Structure 1
């Protein structure tokens, strides 16, 4: 507590959030907790030997209680009294653009039926005109409540949206009319301005892939990126290049700072850091305060406050403070996968980068520093995030380490070039030569990433991983530092025992799942999927009209990773079939 009070107290706050999310305390219990927290705060102003000794424990209990309280007020209840028909006339406005699918453009917005308003996901036909933030819209809509999946191994989209206070989906017809203009708030004006720049990018002469890449890497808009490109970035481990993260913020901050010290008079250069911080916060607000963006900005400003006050910088203080600030405003952010991976990657870099760097030759040259730091940072971040990546996505590619070592050193150039292109387009400055160069450079980059993604020999999927296994692997990563720094019998045995604990947990989980036998039935758009599981084998029957790729992605792969299936086969059957034979047993298809 004496060394890292902010980080430890933030962890206590997070534990309180998790406790409340699991047990859902309400009413008098929560208000009693508020009184307890108030009592602890008052006790901190008194001095006694007992209070002084128990102060760390009291602070931990206080922040644990604050986590419960804040999450209680941040947990949304169901839309009360909302009685809607399947088909209604709705008036709505958009608040955010979401990823486009094969059939629909998707938006997050607020809809009104009668006098009752509610948050919703809006689906409009893909060929319909683009919506903006300036208008209210009116249309006929089919309203459907978002339901939880039938089986536990499927992604609970309903729960994910419930954390954003969304319980309904609206499927709109093409005949959408503008009802009236809105009185835009400051943030809506910023969103509208960003939307207009995105539309200007669409009107340039670049290829579609280059346009979507530019919108994603600078303006944090990945809604139009095609599925193949997203797959390539995921399989190559370079998805962080598309997501606005600490690298982007630091590069843009450094670029703005560099320009200032070259243009400012000498007497004003001391203010370059302050102006650069102001600019980076304005940029973050313009693209939307995502988790990684907000975390990076807070850490950057805390770091330079230490510098300006001539204090020793502390990464963990900055990390703990940024996490606490984000969660105080919205405790539901903790359950966002991006939030968890972002902070875990920084912790991994802090914990493992320096020990790994010591194993490389002395970095006595700029290119050596760049190369070796790129390698060690990539390895450290991937080792730290690997347990969560396997837990959420159940796939990993060893090619990602090589891809990061080759692509990341050029990321600064790519980000700066993309930022300058965005500025030129925003101010309607057209340099055809620069546009052509940028277009060809990005297409070449995407081809290289695609080549990495197609290296299937190093790609593994359907990797089972449960929460106890995640915790045990994180323990292995934690103990890895001491082995790298000083390889001796004691550190090696600790690491070995931790790895052995992981193997015991994993073996027990495998045995438990292999003892389960299941017969399940699922429908995808009125098409049937039937499966039989025995031991670690499974057989899936899908009707001939079913979208095979969709079934594999959303049903078969999650099932195999959840139930630890070692071998499976997929068979097709006509929709008229009512009985299926598997291992000499007859099963009836419902």
Structure 2
């Protein structure tokens, strides 16, 4: 507690959020907890020997209680009752990833009686919406459905965590009215939308346009599915999405220009100016979760520098997490939040021990290369348990791909930022577009080449919560083993590995012994699955989309049930019964 008090207190605060999310205490428990927190807060001001001894435990209890209380109020919002075809008036709050048929928007919707947040679905052949209008139309309003089975992604729960209650499918002509009440954030969002539209009007290839919009403006709503898959399979998805790397590179660009342009007597204010510019950039690209996290962490870290205090990465990390969760405890359950903080923790925990095994960094090139490799390995090791738990896939080629691509990421990010700035200022230089498009097209081809190594890509990897914690224990013990490789540390680490393997074998055995017959509803089709031991057979209807069924039904099921062998058979639409291993099953 003496060495890292803030880290420990924030850890208890996070545990309180998890506790409330798991047990959902009602208001009868919340107010007594509020009373306990107030009592502890007041008690810490009294000078008493016994209180002094108990102070660390009291503070941990208080932060645990604060986590419970805040998450209760963040999770308790009244849902209106709306369904069916309704006349709605709405304004958009943001654009979401499109699907094959529709554009999707997050919007504030008003019916005759209620106001609520919803996801809007608009056909792609309709005119794109903006932030400067109110819209009136007819739409079919419905609540997102809970998943049919436990292995499926719970989209309804995901939306509830964002306080989104409904989905609205627009089914008639849209009428608009110009708004005169735009807030500052909405003005920034509209300007960002205009810059995105300007990028679409350039002569670059569509792939280069989508890459530019994603890497700088955090807009991947229209990105080609194949490009997204390439980044995913090559382990470079962090390069396409705005992350800490992007914010740091842009901050360094601002700092470099500030130092060069400001008079000598004002150069000490360059850091403050750069932090202001970074936050303006954060607002401009829409306060995305990952951008806010990165900007906040960078700001807190540099405040230590401004106050001439020794910078402490763990304190900066804990304080930024606490500030974010203070405003929205639901952020804790965002996969990006968890992975980004784990990546930084991994770099803190493993980077220096791994870097010590590399040759001496006696010039800048070696420093860049060796640090790139060690940071990449550290971040990937720290996030691997959660990546396997959430996505059930891993690519070995990602280590090699990061080695080749990441050293050039700073150049690509700076080039992309300058291109975006020129386009935002309506300075469209044909030769610049050609050069940028040429460079990005080559980059995308290289990434596609890395993604094509199917033998290094593993999917449907089973992973449960117990196994995740077991893997985290191995990652924690790795630091000691890497720093000092001896028999004792090796034995401790191998014991943790053996415990993980035993846990995995036990989980495999538990799933293998359960036979299961399920009928999955997918769109307008049905899928029959019959599982015996670690094998499963799927029957899908002839007119169904096999690729989508594999993605949304078969792969999640195989990962959840630890399937070793799968078989897919086509089922004629007229057939309602199947025979499998001498047994007859009905497809209802």
Q: Same fold (TM over 0.5)?
A: yes
Alignment partner, residue 585 of structure 1: 583
Inter-partner Cα distance in structure 1 for 2:523 and 2:330: 31
Inter-partner Cα distance in structure 2 for 1:398 and 1:289: 33
Inter-partner Cα distance in structure 1 for 2:291 and 2:257: 22
2:2 is aligned with 1:2: yes
Q: Deviations over 1:52-100 (max 9, x none)?
A: 11111111101000000000110044513x243x212111111010001
Report the CA distance between 1:291 and its aligned residue: 2.8
SS at match of 2:492: helix
Does the 8 A contact of 1:148 with 1:156 survive in 2?
Answer: yes
Inter-partner Cα distance in structure 2 for 1:293 and 1:131: 24
Alignment partner, residue 129 of structure 1: 127
Return 5+ residue gaps in structure 1 as ranges. Answer: none
2:453 is aligned with 1:455: yes
Inter-partner Cα distance in structure 2 for 1:578 and 1:403: 48
Report the CA distance between 1:180 and its aligned residue: 4.5
Report the CA distance between 1:232 and its aligned residue: 0.5
The one of 511, 522, 525 equivalent to 1:524 is 522
Inter-partner Cα distance in structure 1 for 2:253 and 2:164: 39
Q: Which shifted more, 172-181 or 488-497?
A: 172-181
Query: Structure 1 pair 170/182, CA: closer, same or farther in 2 (3 Å)?
Result: farther
* Correspondence 1:437-448 to 2 at 5 A: 437-448=435-446
Inter-partner Cα distance in structure 2 for 1:53 and 1:243: 47
Does the 8 A contact of 1:124 with 1:174 survive in 2?
Answer: no
How many residue pairs were aligned?
588
Alignment partner, residue 67 of structure 1: 67
Q: CA-atom RMSD, angstroms?
A: 1.0
Alignment partner, residue 381 of structure 1: 379
Does the 8 A contact of 1:105 with 1:124 survive in 2?
Answer: yes
Alignment partner, residue 557 of structure 1: 555
Does the 8 A contact of 1:128 with 1:174 survive in 2?
Answer: no
Does the 8 A contact of 1:528 with 1:575 survive in 2?
Answer: no
* Correspondence 1:18-37 to 2 at 5 A: 18-37=18-37
Q: Deviations over 1:510-560 (max 9, x none)?
A: 111001110000122221200100010000000000100000000000000
Does the 8 A contact of 1:96 with 1:109 survive in 2?
Answer: yes
Q: Which shifted more, 468-477 or 255-264?
A: 255-264
Return 5+ residue gaps in structure 2 as ranges. Answer: none
Does the 8 A contact of 1:90 with 1:141 survive in 2?
Answer: yes
Does the 8 A contact of 1:390 with 1:396 survive in 2?
Answer: yes
Inter-partner Cα distance in structure 1 for 2:512 and 2:406: 42
SS at match of 2:575: coil
Alignment partner, residue 140 of structure 1: 138
Alignment partner, residue 233 of structure 1: 231
Inter-partner Cα distance in structure 1 for 2:107 and 2:190: 14
Report the CA distance between 1:483 and its aligned residue: 0.5
Alignment partner, residue 331 of structure 2: 333
Inter-partner Cα distance in structure 1 for 2:180 and 2:31: 39
Does the 8 A contact of 1:76 with 1:165 survive in 2?
Answer: no
Q: Which shifted more, 382-391 or 281-290?
A: 281-290
* Correspondence 1:21-420 to 2 at 5 A: 21-80=21-80, 82-84=81-83, 86-173=84-171, 175-420=173-418
Q: Deviations over 1:532-589 (max 9, x none)?
A: 0001000000000010000000000000000000001000010111111111111111
Report the CA distance between 1:174 and its aligned residue: 5.3
Inter-partner Cα distance in structure 1 for 2:67 and 2:286: 25
Report the CA distance between 1:435 and its aligned residue: 0.8
Inter-partner Cα distance in structure 2 for 1:580 and 1:182: 62
Report the CA distance between 1:47 and its aligned residue: 1.2
Query: TM-score scaled by structure 1?
Result: 0.98
Inter-partner Cα distance in structure 2 for 1:256 and 1:165: 36
2:531 is aligned with 1:533: yes
Does the 8 A contact of 1:76 with 1:163 survive in 2?
Answer: no
SS at match of 1:166: coil
Inter-partner Cα distance in structure 2 for 1:175 and 1:354: 60
The one of 468, 476, 481 equivalent to 1:478 is 476
* Correspondence 1:560-575 to 2 at 5 A: 560-575=558-573
Q: Deviations over 1:412-468 (max 9, x none)?
A: 000000000011000101211111000111111001000001110100000000000
Report the CA distance between 1:26 and its aligned residue: 1.3
Does the 8 A contact of 1:125 with 1:174 survive in 2?
Answer: no
Q: Deviations over 1:465-523 (max 9, x none)?
A: 00000000000000000000001121111111111111121111111100111000012
Inter-partner Cα distance in structure 1 for 2:78 and 2:566: 40
SS at match of 1:139: strand
Q: Deviations over 1:334-360 (max 9, x none)?
A: 000000000000000000000000000
Inter-partner Cα distance in structure 1 for 2:277 and 2:542: 56
Does the 8 A contact of 1:30 with 1:69 survive in 2?
Answer: yes
